[in-house]
Structure 1
Amino acid sequence: MNNSSPVIWWIRRDLRLCDNPALTAAIASNRAILPVYILDEQDAALGAAPKFRLGLGVEHFAQELAKAGSRLILRRGRALDVLRQLVAETGAGAVHWSRLYDPKAITRDTEVKQQLSAQGTAARSHGGRLLFEPWTVETKTGGMYKVYTPFWKAVRGRSVTSLLRAPATLPAPENWPVSEDLIAWDMGAAMRRGADVVARYCRVGEAAALTRLDEFLEDTVDVYKERRDFPGEDATSGLSENLAWGEISPHRMWHLGRAAMERGSQGAEHFLKEVAWREFAYHLMYHSPHMLTSSWRDEWQAFPWAQDITPQVLAWQRGQTGYDFIDAAMRELYATGKMHNRARMIVASFLTKHLMTHWKIGMDWFAETLVDWDPASNAMGWQWVAGSGPDAAPFFRVFNPSGQLEKFDPLGAYTGRWIAEGQDGPPQTALNFFDAAPVSWGLSPGSPRAEPVISLKQGRDRALTAYHGARENR
């Protein structure tokens, strides 16, 4: 690399200027920086909602780079081919990027590093997406952690990388390579008419994420532990969508959360535990990547879950099960691209236990509809509820959606927000679901309320019978 050669900053799920080790390393080279986003086959294959939200994030980040005197170069294609082409076009001597940890990303990035290095281009990967690199957290005997509580005890006192300032400007090259047009990519095509609805609920960009964190730690964290399970209340950080796309770092959440805890904020430690829960999901995915596609526990591979999209499953997807908690949650998901965490557990339990449907069907639906989709957290969450994962809730723990509603939404704030049927003058939130839902579903806020697709007792009894039968056959 000569003194005039630029460096490529290959941007992936790190759409931020603060706390970005790859960007910091690129700036430290004292050379012009070429920010590049590549829509490769992996991002092109994302589900409708995450791909749409990624498009919003890329568009916003391009604007932020422009304010810093830079620009975002957009290219499509196989990552290695695109990077090689950019190196040839610009004479770039190095490529910096933030690590990803799912198996497909690891395979891609390993090849990129090997091939670029072989041709004489420095290839450097950096942390930033996780507090602790997965291979640095080990049990006393040297293995991976399989249970969360020991994992938490192992990491809670560890040093976390200090926060990094955002650069005021980025050094620009004399000549910019050609960029493709984001509009032409049509990242929201699969969302159809739901795109405009979901966009209203998205909080896009680093500035929005930093503001949200500050507001949460100032106004809400004290009640976080006690009220976070009440979906009708604004008692969580709401940062999952920003964290998913790297618009905020877990390091900032950790350091500011820890400062709040030291100030005496009551719920701050529990907030830190949730940040660490995400770390645990990545720890598991890195060490046992099969959790993304099959049951983590071998003994669950033959469990008799149905794997067909039945009318009951369609009713679940469309918020038409006849159970208020389930339907409110599934409508919230479709209208906003998000779902309250307590609600995620309830709908997952209903699908995998009352409806005896494989968790992969639910995981795939979330991968299609969540704007905060994350491979590790999604797989971990579904397997945790289903009983097939590490540190899982036992299968015989079957959430009763009616009982959960009485406990966590006793005044109907959540269900009233999302279920229009039966209300005189339903709120816009409830109507937004019908605006987003495909016309082919044939749904209308004036239609009668759906009848229950299964009795809760029948579903629970069937699930427990299957569970005990599977245990006897092991």
Structure 2
Amino acid sequence: MTPLILWFRRDLRLDDNPMLHAATTTGRALIPVFVGDDALFSIGAAARWRYGESIRDFAAGLERMGSRLILRRGPALGVLRELVAQTGAGGVWWTRLYDPQARERDSAVKALLREAGTEARSFPGHLLAEPWEVETGQGTPYRVYTPFWKALSARDIPAPCPAPARITAPHSWPQSERLEDWQLARALNRAVPVLARHARIGEKAAQARLDRFLANAVEEYRHARDLPGREATSGLSENLTYGEIGPRRIWSAAQALLGAEPGHKGAEHFCKELAWRDFAYHLMFHTPEILTRNWRAEWDSFPWREDSPEAERWRRGMTGEPFVDAGLRQMYVTGTMHNRARMIVASYLCKHLMTHWKIGMDWFADCLTDWDPASNAMGWQWVAGSGPDAAPYFRIFNPATQAAKFDENARYRHRFIAELSAKPGPDALAYFDCTPRNWGLDPAAPYPAPMVDLAEGRARALAAYSARGT
């Protein structure tokens, strides 16, 4: 009956947490721990700040249960070994992660802890199904989404487990560091108050989001999710990123709607989007090169442009294409970007500007509070054409026609671009409050002229794609 150390990472919730649920059934004293290692301090500025807020909220939730979250900074193995020695813990448990760095770290931690006689166990909880559980009839990983969806949706997804009624505390607690001393918001400078207005932090906020979406928006989700001027999506990507809500909890709630109304198109499409997230992790697990190089090797010879003044204007939301700029400014102000805008923003960079998808992927990683390594990489490669289920080379989104179709009343563009309005709203002006001062942006300045002619940019991209035989 030695204590258990519970190593929390991207599973910062009490509800539907398989690792925590299993630990509470043992009757052992539990010592929740968060390790501030390179995995935390190497992520983008916005995600690092948002991660810290999630840690803070989760620690408060544990305290309400009579428990604590012990914070320690340093390499995970060294920190965990030290805590085992200090507490006499007989085991260290955690929820699995699937990116290459986490897998390498966790495998080493597991092996060396066990070698020292300490129990080391990992649990599911970040996905609907483990990446190795969903496979083709030939026992190989899926490379196309539609058959993956069919296989996943045919599985018996485990029901979410309840939050614990109590968490047994140890006789004495090890020393904890202060979250404030980690300075997770330092890189954001003056952007913090702006981002904080839009964040919905913690599992209570996540559950409220889910409930509100299923009650008010899911009915029209299949169509309305493409309209950035409407509040028609769940917004749960932010909470899923840090594990403030479990994917099985979301799946179960959506499936309940399908059970009550078979063929419910909104709920079914919502489940497909959740499965798309699993597919991204499936690909990252089996083909980790998707994070760093073209998933389709034949794209390695494509003449992508590297960084440039045009790419910098793109980053600053000053391309002169309102739909593109609205998306980039939304990301800077809110920490997220509407999915339709993400496709338009990415297509413009990769195709109209012929710029390497990694330039955009890295910018998103620095600015998104819902940054997810698998989904970010797959999304960029999908748009660029170099990834799985890729958009065909001739699919070059025209920002102007996309705006006319999906933002017909210009509500989205006016919400985030101050220069388009005589009396800009708070979100449009907030962009100038949180961007770096050395960018020298002024809401009273004229809106920039387009960087490229859309027809000429499309023709240039098509010529390049045709030349490589795409």
TM bin (shorter chain): over 0.9
Residue 12 of structure 2 aligns with which residue?
Answer: 15
Partner amino acid, structure 2, of 1:205: G
1:351-366 alignment to 2 at 5 Å? 351-366=349-364
Cα distance in 2 between the residues matched to 1:329 and 1:228? 15
1:22-421 alignment to 2 at 5 Å? 22-264=19-261, 265-308=264-307, 310-421=308-419
Listed as ranges, the gaps of 5+ residues in structure 1 are none
TM-score by length of 2: 0.99
Cα distance in 2 between the residues matched to 1:89 and 1:433? 48
For the 8 Å contact 1:385–1:395, the answer to whether it is kept is: no
Q: Deviations over 1:327-366 (max 9, x none)?
A: 1000000011100000000000000000000000100000
Q: How many residues align?
A: 468
For the 8 Å contact 2:414–2:420, the answer to whether it is kept is: no
Moved more, 402-411 or 423-432: 423-432
Shift of 1:27: 1.2
Q: Say what the alpha-carbon RMSD is for the aligned residues.
A: 0.9
Cα distance in 1 between the residues matched to 2:43 and 2:94? 20
Q: Deviations over 1:287-345 (max 9, x none)?
A: 0000000000010111110112x111111111100011001000000011100000000
Shift of 1:169: 2.3
Shift of 1:28: 2.0
Partner amino acid, structure 1, of 2:446: P
Shift of 1:141: 1.1
Cα distance in 1 between the residues matched to 2:390 and 2:118? 45
TM-score by length of 1: 0.98
Cα distance in 1 between the residues matched to 2:85 and 2:448? 60
Partner amino acid, structure 2, of 1:176: W
Q: Percent identity?
A: 56
For the 8 Å contact 2:331–2:337, the answer to whether it is kept is: yes
Partner amino acid, structure 1, of 2:22: A
Q: Deviations over 1:213-238 (max 9, x none)?
A: 01111111000001100000011111
Shift of 1:266: 3.6
Partner amino acid, structure 2, of 1:284: L
Residues 1:470 and 2:440 aligned together: no
Instruction: Report SS of the residue matched to 1:283.
Output: helix
Residue 449 of structure 1 aligns with which residue?
Answer: 447
Shift of 1:24: 1.3
Shift of 1:395: 2.0
Q: After the TM superposition, which parts of structure 1 deviate over 6 Å for at least 4 consecutive aligned residues?
A: none
Partner amino acid, structure 1, of 2:20: L
Instruction: Report SS of the residue matched to 2:6.
Output: strand
Q: Deviations over 1:77-120 (max 9, x none)?
A: 00000000000000000111000000100000000000000001
Instruction: Report SS of the residue matched to 1:145.
Output: coil
Instruction: Report SS of the residue matched to 1:36.
Output: strand
For the 8 Å contact 1:25–1:96, the answer to whether it is kept is: no
Instruction: Report SS of the residue matched to 1:38.
Output: strand
Moved more, 170-179 or 256-265: 256-265
Shift of 1:263: 2.1
Cα distance in 2 between the residues matched to 1:422 and 1:205? 35
Cα distance in 1 between the residues matched to 2:177 and 2:270? 40
Cα distance in 2 between the residues matched to 1:448 and 1:154? 52
Cα distance in 1 between the residues matched to 2:385 and 2:231? 29
For the 8 Å contact 1:7–1:96, the answer to whether it is kept is: yes
For the 8 Å contact 1:22–1:126, the answer to whether it is kept is: yes
